[in-house]
Structure 1
Amino acid sequence: MAAITMRLPVARKAVGPSAPRGGEKHLVAPGDTITTDTGYMRGHGTYVEEEKLIASVAGAVERVNKLVCVRALKTRYNGEVGDIVVGRITEVQQKRWKVETNSRLDSVLLLSSMNLPGGELRRRSAEDELAMRDYLQEGDLISLGQGVLVQVSPSLVKRQKTHFHDLPCGASVILGNNGFIWIYPTPEQKDEEAGGFTTNLEPVPLSDREVISRLRNCIVALVTQNLMLFDTSILYCYEASLPHQIKDILKPEVMEEIVLETRQRLLDLEG
């Protein structure tokens, strides 16, 4: 006979509505009136009809002085200065690489902007141009070694001062603003003096692979329940998933359980 998995119901603590920091965001749907004040200027995601500023997309209203625009909740990545992104090489061209960054257009990485092995600083020569495929080739993730890539909506990645996190569970994550999240084993020692481009293709131990797989499934669970991704939410979700096997995290009822616990801990943390 086939084995049947049964889970007994458990009492859950009621989760109250969260109070976001910095005030409540004004969310609108297509056709909603944003304002009737004619002093505002129309930005992206809006149009004017009968002297009313109306939303053309579903998203959050943003105001910069008199300019009003609507940032769509689900859209392609729109890069900003200072963003941390994880990209994949799609093409090797003359003196540059084309990079997929989940944006509307492919990004460009110039050979002159590439840090050579050992952090060597000099003008790039014809020999460097011929050796471009030795550094990065099609399918490579930029300057990253062994790990797992998770693609999520860019709107679910919370903007923070740093997007590089060494989690206490033994793995590290890079939360790309473009929705590409890289999970990899935390290096035992960081050689900051070497600098430059490095690629680590050493086999990953089983214990590290299990941690990475659990983190990956936790991120998928958070995304499924539309919870923002940042270091604290990922760590809380990881700790909530420990009583379950890695493969069970993707079950709908387990997802809901661990994300509810994560949301409650985040609310308690905010006070």
Structure 2
Amino acid sequence: MITYTSFPLPPDNTYNGSRQHHLDVAEDVMMELGDDQDLSEAGGSKLTYPGEPLTSSQAYMRGHGTYVDNEEVIASVAGTIERVNKLVTVRAIRTRYNPEVGDLVVGRITEVLTTYSFRGSNNLTPRCHVRQVQPRRWKVDANSRQDAVLMLSSVNLPGGVQRRKLESDELQMRTFFEEGDLLVAEVQAFFSDGAMSLHTRSLKYGKLRNGQLVTVPPILVRRLKSHFIALPCGVDLILGLNGYIWVSKHVKESEQEGEEGFDAEAVYSNQNDPIDDSTRVAISRVTNIILVLSSHFVPLTDTLLLEAYEWTVDQEGGAKDLLQEDVGNALVATVTARL
């Protein structure tokens, strides 16, 4: 017997201020299925809920997140409907991040793996090595099905990006990243077991400081031309495609230049810079905006976040006021109507 988990419906069964719709299909297919099929006009992916009929199983093939009952394709999870030719799938809202090469992700170091070496009780004893299964790397929680891997050879170290990594670098791995550190990186490749390999070979990647981490469903982070966003309020955003978003104090571009011979103490420092009260308020405001939009299942883009921030400033309210239900609903209705 197959059972399906129920999810709470959005208020009034709506999405972005309009009634929920379904698949975007050609007019000839709609006429072939008949007017009784609840299918949408153009508009891309739409939100659906478990148990909702999507279309006829005779006209479309069922994919992940759906099942067939009484010759109808029915959603088995809450998520967005996607169609590729005749294949209908539902991408679940609450799911782990599915990485692709080139993705920008924000993660947290969970473990440091090194190769340890030692000598015996006298100098005549040859050097012995105790090797772990995965030496010289960091394990990173990237909100995926398994931890990602950041190799020592894939990070930017003092003396230039291209230089060889020495044994002395391995002994100092925890001075670069240690357990609990947050970082931004790029997906470089995949190992045979499916784990993703990350790299931070540019100064725009690396350790994160001076900010706050916000977690949203990965499905809400759209792929953009750039996932580094600088808002006019002095706040920088890093939209990780894995659903981890970093909201921080603005960093001038001049501070990120000059990779050759960079200041390692500054790049890998664990100390936050001084942050004034106005910047702290701006960071809190942007954080609450993201939380409100994600709670209403609104996809996050640079344009939408800028519109949302300008709206909140015009309201002359505090950052905490955004968490009130009526203010949050007004924010969502306004920004989605403008865009």
Structure 2 length-normalised TM: 0.65
Aligned to 1:165: 229
Aligned to 1:256: 329
The structure that has the greater radius of gyration is 2
* Pair 1:204-2:278 in alignment: no
Q: Deviations over 1:33-84 (max 9, x none)?
A: 65424884x6433456787655433333434456553311221111122221
Q: 1:126 to 1:146 in 2, by over 3 A?
A: same
The alpha carbon displacement at 1:176 in A equals 0.7
Q: Deviations over 1:87-128 (max 9, x none)?
A: 000111131111111112111111111111353312222221
Identity fraction in percent: 48
* Structure 1 residues 169-188: aligned runs within 5 Å: 169-188=233-252
Q: Is the CA contact 1:145–1:199 (under 8 Å) kept in the aligned structure 2?
A: no
Aligned to 2:218: 154
Pick from 161, 165, 168 the counterpart of residue 124 of structure 1: 165
* Structure 1 residues 32-47: aligned runs within 5 Å: 32=53, 34-37=55-58, 40=61, 43-47=63-67
Look up the equivalent residue of 2:166 and give its one-letter code: S
Determine the C-alpha separation between the residues in 1 that align with 2:332 and 2:82: 29
User: Which stretch of structure 1 is more off in the superposition, 230-239 or 112-121?
Assistant: 112-121
Gaps of 5+ in 1: 1-14, 267-271
Q: 1:210 to 1:50 in 2, by over 3 A?
A: closer
Look up the equivalent residue of 2:228 and give its one-letter code: F
Q: 1:26 to 1:205 in 2, by over 3 A?
A: closer
Aligned to 1:96: 137
Determine the C-alpha separation between the residues in 2 that align with 1:264 and 1:61: 22
Aligned to 2:130: none
Aligned to 2:302: 231
Q: 1:240 to 1:58 in 2, by over 3 A?
A: same
Structure 1 length-normalised TM: 0.80
Q: How many residues align?
A: 251
Determine the C-alpha separation between the residues in 1 that align with 2:336 and 2:69: 40
Q: 1:16 to 1:147 in 2, by over 3 A?
A: closer
- The structure with the greater share of residues assigned to strand is 2
Gaps of 5+ in 2: 1-15, 25-40, 114-134, 184-205
Determine the C-alpha separation between the residues in 2 that align with 1:261 and 1:168: 20
Look up the equivalent residue of 1:95 and give its one-letter code: R
Q: 1:139 to 1:229 in 2, by over 3 A?
A: same
* Pair 1:218-2:302 in alignment: no
Aligned to 1:137: 178
Q: Is the CA contact 1:34–1:55 (under 8 Å) kept in the aligned structure 2?
A: no
User: Which stretch of structure 1 is more off in the superposition, 228-237 or 197-206?
Assistant: 197-206
Look up the equivalent residue of 2:233 and give its one-letter code: C
SS at match of 2:322: helix
